[in-house]
Structure 1
């Protein structure tokens, strides 16, 4: 008897991601720059271990190669953890859910007169006395939660989207941002470490004749290569680490900083900042580890169709780990699902949802927010829902 092949959910996931190790590894399809990153790090460290470390261990200290090995292993661990993980991809709506959302929006807002362009589909939520707009994604057919955005390279909505980094071959989002920051920080330390001891090696092997130094590095091509790679890498990596340190201290993302979401020009303050650098850093770097809502290695059921995960599954999967405003958002998504009993009719106003605590910020408007998937205008005006914060 021939065993029936088991289909995993990652095999049917939409988007432009590649999977390895039976869905355990998730990356973007464009991985060429990621391989270049691996080559530069491992190649430079290999030259340092082969040519500099033996001499420095004898003439300076045995701790030099030991510290270099520890830094190298930590850098590689953080790089692979960032590159091979789910950054926080949000599941797309099932066809039935998407149709129901379309019907509910049209019923709640009525038809748009001919010749008038419908406004974009927006839902407003109030977080810490600040109005935040939830944009409707025409690709994923969902209202994106606060701070989520659609990555055009991976073709997925990513929760707390920071940016897509080709150097790590993946998006940087809610589930892997801390590892990305630790990668840049440790890589900066490793680069400074190798560059410093390359100079020390050159100095120790230089010979002084009268009033002239004869630099031995001219006879060590490997040292010259290491110095050049570290010198040009140093400025970009250290600068990137400093930039993200600044963002973490403000509890802000790269996407929000580029778009100027919380700039003084808009007279809008960041509703997710604790107004304290230590608290902001602790929330970003020391918060809970959020589970993936995709269940990539789950088994597909024959009756489940081609979409492996639906929006209503997110509430149960993340109820114990997401922040209160995210629970409210996913509850809002759940009320629009035809698979779950709806407590209000499409003609009634959507319910208010009470939330507490700090959460993530607004999603950033994208080009697809203003137009449909084929360049057409949206079909319905926005729906406004206020999510008020209760007192602590």
Structure 2
């Protein structure tokens, strides 16, 4: 039997989602097609882009354009005037740093940062209809915000807050991001340059990204500075009467690209380098940026702090936890539409009763 496909729309968590719907009402659809949030699932949910795609692309441009100029002008200078023995190592090291940096940027911006599924019909099989709800999961029958719960970790009592938007109990270090419209486990901050939030599942890639970017800028300062120094020395040898300042301006005319890259890398070191150092400090304390801003552990011991070495291993090198979103799974669309329509009708009836 042959079915035709058409473009349809449904309301999912208050947001219109478009997808290709089969005429068969019981056809299962990809959960990624009806994901209730501001992230953008692509490749059937294998990749998950954040809402700030424009600034994410700008971040690629800010790294790729200077890197291409470095390889085209600075590395070519060493090939033409110094020799292959120097040019090959300089080019190879720069290329390895660039490719590693790109890998980390792609990873941090395209994986699930640690999103806790919302209490919607899209995740109905995850719901817990009992009152004893585990953190990060749902209570299907909760019509009003229940009181906060508490959990004890290593002798320290921490609150489990209720998210009125996602209708879930958050895990102890989770927080709701209004930009991404979801709760993020071990929330650190929302980074527009990576297009998404930084949380439990992508914090390591964010740290590696800013650290390798800093190393790449330091390497650029070294290579461009070496070219500028060699060129100044060559001008002064050719003209013994030429003073350093005059040779400096001759270099500015002779190799302007490397000159601009030198100062561009210096500025990036000050901004990205300080960010890398700050996050390394937080990792050694097993704290997040949000923890620090909220001053959560200033008056009590941090139960997640197990020593600098153990903290570094846990945050950067422990196995990556599986995503809770299960975007590759399929759900029956017809049932979800019916249940969402019933829920919407009940909500409207409650509103009408309150107005009367």
- TM bracket (short chain): 0.7 to 0.9
Aligned 1:265-344 pairs, distance under 5 A: 267-274=299-306, 276-302=307-333, 304-305=335-336
Distance in 2 between residues matched to 1:2 and 1:201, nearest whole Å: 66
Q: Which moved more, 1:157-166 or 1:228-237?
A: 228-237
Task: Map 1:250-261 to 2 at 5 A.
Answer: 250-261=285-296
Q: CA deviation at 1:230?
A: 1.1
The equivalent residue for 2:162 is 136
1:181 aligns with 2:207: yes
- Cα offset for 1:306? 5.5
Unmatched 5+ stretches in structure 2: 6-21, 23-27, 131-138, 340-356
Match of 2:68 in 1: 46
Contact preservation (8 Å) 1:12, 1:307: no
* 1:36 equivalent in alignment to 2:68: no
Q: Say whether residues 1:20 and 2:42 are aligned partners.
A: yes
Residue number in structure 2 paired with 1:241: 276
Note if contact 1:149-1:159 (Cα within 8 Å) is conserved in structure 2. yes
Q: 1:205 aligns with which of 231, 234, 243?
A: 231
Judging changes above 3 Å, is the alpha-carbon distance between structure 1 residues 297 and 38 closer, same or farther for their aligned structure 2 residues? same
Q: Structure 1 residues 74, 49: CA separation in 2 closer, same or farther (over 3 Å shift)?
A: same
Inter-partner Cα distance in structure 2 for 1:290 and 1:226: 39
Q: Which has the larger radius of gyration?
A: 2
- Asked whether the 8 Å contact 2:228–2:259 carries over to 1, the reply is no
Indicate the structure with greater strand content: 2
CA positional deviation for 1:304: 4.8
The number of residues matched between the two structures is 292
Tell me the TM-score normalised to structure 1 length.
Answer: 0.70
Q: Which has the higher contact order (CA 8 A, sep 6+)?
A: 1
Per-residue Cα deviation, 1:152-180 (whole angstroms, up to 9, x for no partner) = 10000111111111111111111111111
Q: Distance in 2 between matches of 1:18 and 1:307?
A: 25
Of 95, 114, 119, the residue aligned with 1:69 is 95
Instruction: Tell me how far apart the structure 1 counterparts of residues 128 and 213 of structure 2 sit (CA, whole Å).
Output: 44
The answer for the alignment partner of 2:262 in structure 1 is 227
The question of whether the paired residues in 2 share the 8 Å contact of 1:149 and 1:158 is answered with: yes
Q: Which residue of 2 aligns with 1:366?
A: none
The 3 A distance-change label for structure 1 pair 19 and 225 is: farther
The residue number in structure 2 matching 1:2 is: 3
Mean CA deviation greater in 76-85 or 61-70: 61-70
1:94–1:307 contact (8 Å) kept in structure 2:
no
Instruction: Say which SS state the counterpart of residue 7 (structure 1) adopts.
Output: strand
Q: Is the 8 A contact 1:57 1:65 kept in 2?
A: no
Contact 2:45 2:328 in 1 (8 A): yes
Q: CA separation of 1:235/1:304 partners in 2, compared to 1, >3 Å: closer, same or farther?
A: farther
User: Residues of 2 paired with 1:175 and 1:306: CA distance?
Assistant: 31
Q: Secondary structure at the match of 1:305?
A: helix
One of 92, 104, 122 as aligned partner of 1:78? 104
- Give the alignment's Cα RMSD to 1 decimal: 2.4
Instruction: Give the structure with the larger helix fraction.
Output: 2
| Residue of structure 2 equivalent to 1:168 | 194
**Deviation per residue, 1:194-222 (Å, 9 max, x gap):** 11111111111221133513132333231
Structure 1 segments unaligned to the other structure (5+ residues): 107-118, 309-392
Name the CA shift for 1:90/1:104 in 2 (closer, same or farther; >3 Å).
Answer: closer
SS in structure 2 of the partner of residue 29 of structure 1: coil
TM-score (norm. length: structure 2): 0.76
* Structure 1: distance between partners of 2:260 and 2:274: 22
Task: Answer yes or no: is 1:217 the counterpart of 2:218.
Answer: no
Contact 2:53/2:195 (CA < 8 Å) preserved in 1? Answer: yes
Contact 1:90–1:293 under 8 Å retained in 2: yes
